[in-house]
Amino acid sequence: MAKRGKLELIKDILKIIQEHHNAIKITPLIRKSNLSTARFSEYFKELSSKGFIVERTNDSGKSISLTEKGSRYIEKYSNIIGFIEEFDL
């Protein structure tokens, strides 16, 4: 199995959030993304600073949510992968 590249890792993290009804706590997100805490932290900071995700606080504690920009990334990534597969690149 090939290593995941940066763009695929970003897609995987965003997809996990999306699959959990757009709200997941940080520990399950780290576990499901299959990254070390240190590596996940790097991606988390980048995704937050670029506006792909947002950290929210409610009665049950902090959770991570996907922004509209994060949703668009998943959509565009899927389009690009579809193009690559269609033309067998």
Quick: pLDDT tens for 34-83: 999 999 999 999 999 999 999 999 888 899 999 999 999 999 999 999 99
Which domain range does residue 14 map to?
1-51
CA-wise closest residue to 53 among 41, 69, 72: 69
pTM: 0.91
Decide if 83 is inside a domain.
no
Does residue 35 sit within a domain?
Answer: yes
Does residue 84 form part of some domain? no
Domain tally for the chain?
Answer: 1
Radius of gyration of the chain (CA): 14
Residue 63 included in any domain: no
Tally of CA atoms within 13 A in the half-sphere of 35 that contains its CB = 23
CB-based burial, 42-69: b 16+ in 10 Å, e otherwise:
ebbeebeeeebbeeeeeeeeebbbbbee
How high is the pLDDT of residue 68? 97
